[in-house]
Amino acid sequence: MATAAPAYRLFINGEWKESRTRRAVDNRNPAMIQEILGRVPLAVPEEANDAVEAAAEAFPAWRHKPAPQRGAIVARAAQIMTARKEELSRALTREEGKALRESRGEVQRAINVMEFTAGESRRSGGDIIPTELEDNLCYTVRQPLGVVALITPWNFPVAIPCWKIAPALVAGNTVVFKPATLTPMTAAMVVEIFQEAGLPAGCLNLVLGTGGEVGERLVDHPKVKAVSFTGSNEIGSRLYAKGAQRMIRVQCEMGGKNPVVVLEDADLDLAVSATVQGAFGSTGQRCTATSRVVIVEEIADRFLDRLLSQAAKLKSGSGLDESVDVGPSVDETQMNTVLRYIEIGKREGAKLLCGGERLRDGGCENGYFVAPTIFDHVRRDARIAQEEIFGPVLAIQRVRDFEEALDAANDVRFGLSSSLFSNDAARIFRFIDGIETGITHINSGTVGGEAQVPFGGMKATGVGPREQGTTALDFYTEIKAVYVDYTGRKRQSNLY
């Protein structure tokens, strides 16, 4: 089967090309591991060089194309993706594993981002700034950086590439895109869509391969002026350090350990529904997933009764089945990581309330499925309370009151998303002021976001400007200040 499976190709300078490498790995459906979707070439570093050179050659013409024309191509890509939404959603589910309705939601998020970013091509300008000088005009303009490398993860293989590619292109940069080796099929489809939209050759290039070879070569290449990365803290911190050595821009969006805080006046049914969706939707494989519930002791047992009841109703299986709620882990390595953390939780003394095992029947016998898992009485310093698991595992932390809840919610190194369930206005605003996350929700879950709203986190979660929203172009542009003196005489001012 492996030899018969099609090999994915690289896309360099407007052409689909077979990789020169002799090394390749299988791209398997994680819900049905005997299904091999294709062979993923592990490109050699020289092919990354080729992609960078093609992007560098395309950059002068692309940067001089008026921004609204660049935006029009991104808008056409959004229209094409809309027409191919179901096809792309099904490919995403087969390749990554998430339930089909979640795949459709992800593709729609990508479409929304491209539509919004295309509009920014007509709005993104500079400022006219008052100057102390007579008969002088002072203003700012935004200019592109050059070649940017975009390194993306497997868990949102359509949305994350699009929310990096679209602003990079609208700003006038050219792109080398390196997706995760686990999701090459959807990456290729995204590139096909931009190609069909009329993007000139060399403006978007696709290279498949490992982070240790292709990714490192992109970060080290002297013609790469910026790197945007989404993935683990371990890799992100190393890329950030390497970029600093070259004094280039690096943007990293990394881990999360997101809490739902439930106070005694909360609507428990609302809090439970949001927790189930946040913890077990997308199999917990998203950076905004609900990893912890920080709950006031006096309502904890009532909350857990309802939570366990809802969790028991979840159906695991292939995401192509419209009735399925929870798909598989993306591959065997990730499944084993989740199972290892479950064993760690047991050894640490947390009380296992449900789940905790690999599923091997009921439609799950041929995939990497882990049962939705809930631990109670989890200590603050426990590893399952502190470390990102990236699976369907939820830790319950009991506290005395609001002050202890806020302190516990902040007692992790990450700071991406959070939520609070309460109807007390004073405590709601104290929570908003005090929570150390880049995103917070009141009376809704930790997941979710919109194309026009900045996305990113605090502390160890992220470095660099926020992605999406009106801030998306900040990372991909330089600001130039311009003084136009129309006095026709020597300046007398002592301005610095």
> Is the pLDDT assigned to residue 1 strictly greater than 70?
no
Q: Among this protein's residues, is 253 annotated catalytic?
A: yes
**pLDDT at res. 218:** 97
| Residue 346 falls inside a structural domain | yes
| 79, two tokens | 């229209």
User: Do 345 and 384 form a contact (C-beta atoms < 8 A)?
Assistant: yes
User: Do 399 and 297 form a contact (C-beta atoms < 8 A)?
Assistant: yes
Report the amino acid identity of residue 129. Answer: I
Q: Are residues 249 and 278 in the same domain?
A: no
Q: Which of the four pLDDT bands, split at 50, 70 and 90, describes residue 490?
A: confident
d(CA 287, CA 423): 27
**Catalytic site residue from 96, 287, 388, 467:** 287
Mean pLDDT of 479-489: 94
Q: Are residues 288 and 344 in the same domain?
A: yes
d(CA 358, CA 119): 46
For 72, the 3-state DSSP assignment is helix
Q: Are residues 388 and 437 in the same domain?
A: yes
Report which of 220, 221, 238 is spatially closest to residue 229, judged by C-alpha positions.
Answer: 238
Q: Are residues 179 and 277 in the same domain?
A: no
Mention every residue, 6+ apart, whose C-beta is less than 8 A from residue 365.
Answer: none
Range of the domain at 185: 10-254+461-480
Q: Are residues 200 and 273 in the same domain?
A: no
User: Do 217 and 45 form a contact (C-beta atoms < 8 A)?
Assistant: yes
CATH classification of the domain holding 265: 3.40.309.10
> Is the pLDDT assigned to residue 283 strictly greater than 60?
yes
d(CA 457, CA 255): 9
| Residue 17 falls inside a structural domain | yes
Q: Which of the four pLDDT bands, split at 50, 70 and 90, describes residue 370?
A: very high
Q: Which of the four pLDDT bands, split at 50, 70 and 90, describes residue 448?
A: confident
Q: Are residues 51 and 182 in the same domain?
A: yes
Q: Among this protein's residues, is 203 annotated catalytic?
A: no
d(CA 445, CA 491): 59
List pLDDT tens digits, range 119-135.
Answer: 999 998 899 999 999 99
Mention every residue, 6+ apart, whose C-beta is less than 8 A from residue 358.
Answer: 335, 339, 369, 370, 371
Backbone φ and ψ of 452, nearest 5°: -90, 5
> Is the pLDDT assigned to residue 496 strictly greater than 70?
no
Q: Are residues 400 and 271 in the same domain?
A: yes
Burial letters 152-188, b for 16+ CB under 10 A, else e: bbbbbbbbbbbbbbbbbbbbbbbbbbbbbbbbbbbbb
Helix (H) or strand (E) holding 329: none
> Is the pLDDT assigned to residue 461 strictly greater than 90?
yes
List pLDDT tens digits, range 167-190.
Answer: 999 999 999 999 999 999 999 999
For 467, the 3-state DSSP assignment is strand
> Is the pLDDT assigned to residue 399 strictly greater than 60?
yes
Q: Are residues 329 and 392 in the same domain?
A: yes
| Residue 400 falls inside a structural domain | yes
Angle between helices 184-196 and 67-83 (to 10 degrees): 120
For 93, the 3-state DSSP assignment is helix
| 301, two tokens | 């047992």
| 381, two tokens | 């310093």
Phi-psi category of 147—alpha, beta or left, where left has phi over 0 and alpha has psi -120 to 50? beta
pTM recorded for the entire structure: 0.95
> Is the pLDDT assigned to residue 495 strictly greater than 70?
no
Q: Are residues 329 and 475 in the same domain?
A: no
| Residue 5 falls inside a structural domain | no
List pLDDT tens digits, range 400-437.
Answer: 999 999 999 999 999 999 999 999 999 999 999 999 99
Sheet containing 439-442: which strands, arranged edge to edge? Answer: 351-354, 373-376, 393-399, 290-296, 258-262, 417-421, 439-442
Burial letters 440-475, b for 16+ CB under 10 A, else e: bbeebbbbbbebbebbbbebbbbbbbbbbbeebbbb
Phi-psi category of 231—alpha, beta or left, where left has phi over 0 and alpha has psi -120 to 50? left
Backbone φ and ψ of 458, nearest 5°: -105, 180
Q: Which of the four pLDDT bands, split at 50, 70 and 90, describes residue 2?
A: very low
Partners of residue 25 on adjacent β-strands: 40
Mean pLDDT of 458-480: 95
CATH classification of the domain holding 187: 3.40.605.10
**Cα–Cα–Cα angle for 163, 335, 349, nearest 5°?**
110
List pLDDT tens digits, range 93-114.
Answer: 999 999 999 999 999 999 999 9
Q: Are residues 302 and 416 in the same domain?
A: yes
| Residue 452 falls inside a structural domain | no
**pLDDT at res. 467:** 96
Average pLDDT over the chain reads 96
Q: Are residues 23 and 58 in the same domain?
A: yes
For the chain, state the CA radius of gyration.
24
| Residue 447 falls inside a structural domain | no
Q: Are residues 273 and 246 in the same domain?
A: no
Task: Count up the domains in the chain and report the number.
Answer: 2
| Residue 494 falls inside a structural domain | no
| Residue 403 falls inside a structural domain | yes
Partners of residue 141 on adjacent β-strands: 480
**Catalytic site residue from 102, 106, 120, 253:** 253
